[in-house]
Structure 1
Amino acid sequence: MDFIGMQDECLKEDHISLRNLTLLLTYLCIFGVCSSDLIYDFLIMLSKRLREIDVSTILTVLNCCGMKIRSDDPTAMKNFIQSVHNRVNELKAASVEGQANINGKRMEFMLETIFDIKNNKKRPKEETAPHGRIKKWLQKLRVEEILIRGLKWSKLLDPDNKGQWWLSGGMAAKTDNVQEVANTIDKDVLEAQRMLQLASSQRMNTDARKAIFCIIMSGEDYIDAFEKLLRLDLVGKQDREIMRVVVECCLQEKIFNKYYTTLASKLCEHDKNHKFTLQFCIWDHFKELESMQLLRSMNLAKFIAEMIGSFTLSLAVLKSVELSDVTQLTPKRIMHFRMLFEALFEYPDEVIWNSFTRVAVTPELETLRHGIEFFIREYVVKTNKALANKFKISKKALNNTEGSPHVSWRKWLLCLVKAKFCSPPPPSPL
């Protein structure tokens, strides 16, 4: 779309051409090709001039997608309305010509429309059958993958821009920095090659695992990695590799990073199949504890504790382990599960109570409850007397026949937010 040409139409005051271009822009927003941020930036630009053609253009936008952009970003709508009011007040205090513009019918209609949108009195237009077909077609084309966020109207009109404004960081390919752009591209290629080599060294021996690994390790944060993982074109049961790669990356870290647990929780929340895969993955690692390096064992223990403390998994994940069978409790296994419970006991009392209460009452988990109580008493509390109070809480929770939290939901949720939703940093290369 020629945005500079659209700006020229505003200056020429060609109502028909400008209206058609404006409708095209608003429909791009409705169909999800561009975000509402660009529409708001366009409206703010028009509101600062507020000539007759600007008023007409604002009306076109508001009538077409006013309620949609209001629901997308109510705060931006308030800022736009404030900008309009400020300009109206300036015109009222200006010359007679400016006051005449304020009293025009079109201006009055625009202000009424803004008032209705602000107070949610304007009904959104019903979606027609052709619109629905277009949206489905665009979804098949994965239009969300090319949605440009944070794009500013002024950036589109920058005469020095040359086709690079969609890149992250707002890098512009100017005519005099071609070498700089080429160097940036070369760096990206080298980084991709290095990431693939790193994936191979970390036993990512299939194309699916390599792709998953590169996304996880190069994500800006866990949300960025999560969204990119969802867009991977995995066939059959390849999606099971996602959780296994997440766990493997966590175990390979030299210092435990909560980035992986937050990403894993987000994936489990999105699809319960990831939760089942995670459980089987953990059970497979339990079988390898005897031969597992101490650092991997420690990361695994902290990972499981985080999953339990965030209520993504329950203590039932330990049901495959005989915690009360001393013949199976080798030094390495004792060390692993002691680190797990010690990490879990670092959580507030409310989280500990709710974590242990989740496996109470259920008859099938009676053996697990006895095993947990035995292990904590013999191998955790005896070596760390400071955890005696935590053990009392967990023991009482395991025998909580009511099976309900002893704290209010408000306090429990606040505790969960503190424990889980502090966004961790993305991982450094392994």
Structure 2
Amino acid sequence: MERVGEKSRKEKRKEARLAKQKNRFLSWVHHQGGKTKKKASLDSKPQTEDVVLEKKSKKKLESLKKRKGGSEGKLKTKFQEFLEMETGKGMVSAEDDLEMERRLAKKLKVKNGKLRGPDDELNILLEGAPSFPDSMVGDDTDIDDEAEEDYGNGKESVSDCGNGKESVLTGKKKHKRKKSSVSSLKQLEGEVAVEVPMEDTEMDSGDAEQLDTSDEKEPHVEETAVDSRVKYVAPHLRAQANAESEELSQVRRRVRGLLNRLSESNVESITEEMATLFRSVSRSVGCQIIGQEIVASCSGGPRSNEQYAAVFATFVAGLACLVGIDFSAKLLSSLAKSFEDEYLKEDGLSLRNLTLLLSYMCIFDVCASDLIYDLLSMLTKRLTELDVSTILTILQCCGMKLRSDDPTAMKDFVLGIQNRVNELKSLSERKENGKSNINSKRMEFMLETICDIKNNKKRPNEATAHHIRMKKWLQKLRAEDVVLRGLKWSKLLDPDKKGQWWLSGDVAPSTDNVEDVAMTINKEVLEAQKLVHLAAAQRMNTDLRRAIFCIIMSGEDYIDAFEKLLRLDLSGKQDREIMRVLVDCCLQEKVFNKYYTVLASKLCSHDKNHKFSLQYCLWDHFKELESMELNRSMNLAKFVAEMLSTFLLSLAILKTVDLTNPAQLTPKRIMHLRMLFEAVFENSDALVWNIFTRIAGLPELEMLRSSLVFFIKQYVVAANSGKSIAGKFKIAKKALDNVAGVLM
């Protein structure tokens, strides 16, 4: 219970609220009283201001009276004082007048009546000034009379300035006083418009400062209002800023900010943000802006290391996967142009940065190795000191990858550069006092690097352990599907390339070989028509099957056919037709062709759905072995053996075939399975071990393992008297018992 006499919490809060309201009311009353006092003071202030201004105007008039010259009280201008100082107060002759004009022209830099140099409008300023004879004869009485009249008007104007002080109280006091004083002085001087010296006029400090600032300004200078919202733009960026709109400038700033924050830890997030920004503008603008900023960051920056180039190459590969292959193609074109420009400037630092970026773009599968080989062959033909440095950078960065991608091209490059070095050495020996332009130590180091690559010796700086995470991320994005193949360095530099030049092969031909192009097109049309008829003969009864058939049979290689099949963009269950058409084409061949197995392996590694489609397709063909022709059966056996050797399929595919039932083992089935196992046993012992080990540790395949041992022993080993088949069977039998799954 609460104590008696104490206030409750509710009452205390009520009292505090009432006290607060009372304080607010008292403060408002105090504020209103202050405003009335301030208003009364302001009403009384103009009277004192008028008195002060009248005193100042009287002082100005007295000073002007002192400046009157002669007994007649004529006002002498500054121009007249200058003439008296130069020539004296007496009359002058015409010769003196001409001499005086010549000296004035020399001092004022007047030639032929015009000022030399830029026109500062001094002629306009002196247009109304009287000449020297007029001022000496006495014709300036009218001017003096006008000056005296203006002097009276000046009084009125000065006094009027004191009466109009309501505008002064609004915050423009100094501006009004300056304007009134200057206008009164101009009226006193007349058309000559000569200003009163500061030492003769008694003004306060505020008037003096305002008048000084007005006197120092030249007549031809015009002040323009500066907008505070306008940002400063550097001179070397003004042309670019004027050419681009504000929206594109914002996009460029956003791209530059993202690239500045790019690192190995945030390359995934930065790439996704850049892809979103890329989709917000047109494709051509996005490719241009992002490509320019990437090339500028690499070529114009400081000396970059390999990690820096690797991160940028990963970014380019990831963005190409997200937005399209055209982005990486246009970026390579911009990089090639920048490379040639920096080469002409002989900028070794920028060349090294661009070379590192290009090399890592090859490592991360943005471009194929044939483009790098084409660049190396071009550098080998010149082989200057700058070329040697560039070749050395490429070989140190991606030399081993170039060797593994195309050993034949690497061999040709090594032979070509050795021949070129021998030629340069022979030319330098023939010169008596001449020296080679190539640094001998750098040349020797380059040759040592080439020998190490040729002998398959890895250099210490080629360890790519820190790139594993970025490569795994690119594998998830399937970066190998957007590799640019068939590009040449000359094609990147060609300004006349049009359309999808990165896919269309060679550049558009000139008018000289139009007939050859027409003949080529006719041949291609005839070949396409033959393929269509052949597809109809092979029972390709739908448009989709005919299209797949023509792509597989007309592909230049398995990569070309694979990329064209991906461009079909099949939806739903239509992709199942690819494997069925591929297997059917393989069985129709007179002689087995490994082209189909390589293409099938590429498709299965790209998408697991193709692997399942292939399994069901093979099971359907196993059911037709009894009615299948011998040639088709042999091609099928070799096809399955090749797929087992590449580990894309396992021996579990034979679980639908009963290998122990004599009723099922007809002569055609036995012949087919014998060819299958004989083709498997043609591989090495380690490969045979690994093929049979894949089904060793699975309990559900126990029946399959026992049936395989029975069939191979009964029908394969017994039919072949050679020791090689028996030895491979022993290895296969031990592998089937390898429950631990240890591979060789």
TM tier, shorter chain?
Answer: 0.5 to 0.7
Corresponding position: 1:148 with 2:482? no
CA contact (8 A) 2:388 2:446 kept: no
Distance 2:359 2:462 in 1: 18
One-letter amino acid of the structure 1 residue matched with residue 737 of structure 2: G
CA contact (8 A) 1:314 1:358 kept: yes
What TM-score do you get using the length of structure 1 for normalisation? 0.61
One-letter amino acid of the structure 2 residue matched with residue 148 of structure 1: G
Greater RCO structure (CA 8 Å; 6+ sep): 1
CA contact (8 A) 2:619 2:656 kept: yes
One-letter amino acid of the structure 1 residue matched with residue 677 of structure 2: L
Corresponding position: 1:300 with 2:639? no
**Where do 5+ consecutive residues of structure 1 fail to align?**
125-134, 413-430
Distance 1:389 1:58 in 2: 56
One-letter amino acid of the structure 2 residue matched with residue 189 of structure 1: V
Decide whether aligned partners of structure 1 residues 206 and 58 sit closer, same or farther in structure 2, where only a CA change above 3 A counts.
Answer: farther
CA contact (8 A) 1:30 1:65 kept: no
Displacement after TM superposition at 1:189 (Å): 1.8
Decide whether aligned partners of structure 1 residues 218 and 290 sit closer, same or farther in structure 2, where only a CA change above 3 A counts.
Answer: same
Displacement after TM superposition at 1:185 (Å): 1.2
Displacement after TM superposition at 1:190 (Å): 1.7
Q: Could you report, residue by residue, the CA deviation over 1:82-140 in whole angstroms, capped at 9, with x for unpaired residues?
A: 467546634643546732856xxxx589659958976868899xxxxxxxxxx9xxx99
Decide whether aligned partners of structure 1 residues 392 and 366 sit closer, same or farther in structure 2, where only a CA change above 3 A counts.
Answer: farther
Displacement after TM superposition at 1:217 (Å): 1.6
Displacement after TM superposition at 1:43 (Å): 0.9
Match of 1:321 in 2: 657
CA contact (8 A) 1:359 1:398 kept: no
Number of equivalenced pairs: 375
Decide whether aligned partners of structure 1 residues 196 and 23 sit closer, same or farther in structure 2, where only a CA change above 3 A counts.
Answer: farther
Q: How do 1:396-415 residues align onto structure 2 when only pairs under 5 Å count?
A: 400=734, 403-404=737-738
CA contact (8 A) 1:298 1:336 kept: no
Distance 1:230 1:101 in 2: 50
Distance 2:448 2:507 in 1: 39
Displacement after TM superposition at 1:310 (Å): 5.5
Displacement after TM superposition at 1:319 (Å): 0.8
Q: 2:345 aligns with which of 6, 11, 15?
A: 15
What TM-score do you get using the length of structure 2 for normalisation? 0.39
Displacement after TM superposition at 1:317 (Å): 1.1
Q: 2:524 aligns with which of 188, 205, 225?
A: 188
Distance 1:72 1:361 in 2: 37
Q: How do 1:140-219 residues align onto structure 2 when only pairs under 5 Å count?
A: 144-145=483-484, 147-149=485-487, 151=488, 176-219=512-555
Distance 1:97 1:9 in 2: 33
Distance 1:360 1:123 in 2: 39
Q: 1:344 aligns with which of 677, 691, 714?
A: 677
Displacement after TM superposition at 1:246 (Å): 1.7
Corresponding position: 1:250 with 2:586? yes
Q: 1:40 aligns with which of 363, 376, 398?
A: 376
Distance 2:461 2:695 in 1: 51
Q: 1:364 aligns with which of 666, 685, 700?
A: 700
Distance 2:431 2:493 in 1: 31
CA contact (8 A) 2:379 2:391 kept: no
Decide whether aligned partners of structure 1 residues 84 and 23 sit closer, same or farther in structure 2, where only a CA change above 3 A counts.
Answer: farther
CA contact (8 A) 1:324 1:371 kept: yes
Displacement after TM superposition at 1:210 (Å): 3.3
What is the Cα-based RMSD across aligned positions, in Å?
5.7
Q: 2:402 aligns with which of 64, 73, 76?
A: 73
1:36 partner SS: helix
Decide whether aligned partners of structure 1 residues 172 and 72 sit closer, same or farther in structure 2, where only a CA change above 3 A counts.
Answer: farther
CA contact (8 A) 1:252 1:296 kept: yes
CA contact (8 A) 1:305 1:344 kept: yes
One-letter amino acid of the structure 2 residue matched with residue 345 of structure 1: E
One-letter amino acid of the structure 2 residue matched with residue 188 of structure 1: E
Distance 1:395 1:357 in 2: 13
Match of 1:335 in 2: 668
Decide whether aligned partners of structure 1 residues 72 and 373 sit closer, same or farther in structure 2, where only a CA change above 3 A counts.
Answer: closer
Decide whether aligned partners of structure 1 residues 238 and 98 sit closer, same or farther in structure 2, where only a CA change above 3 A counts.
Answer: farther
Displacement after TM superposition at 1:182 (Å): 0.9
CA contact (8 A) 1:309 1:344 kept: no
Q: Could you report, residue by residue, the CA deviation over 1:379-424 in whole angstroms, capped at 9, with x for unpaired residues?
A: x369x7446978866775675377359xx98xx8xxxxxxxxxxxx
Displacement after TM superposition at 1:302 (Å): 3.9
CA contact (8 A) 1:353 1:394 kept: yes
Distance 1:117 1:385 in 2: 54
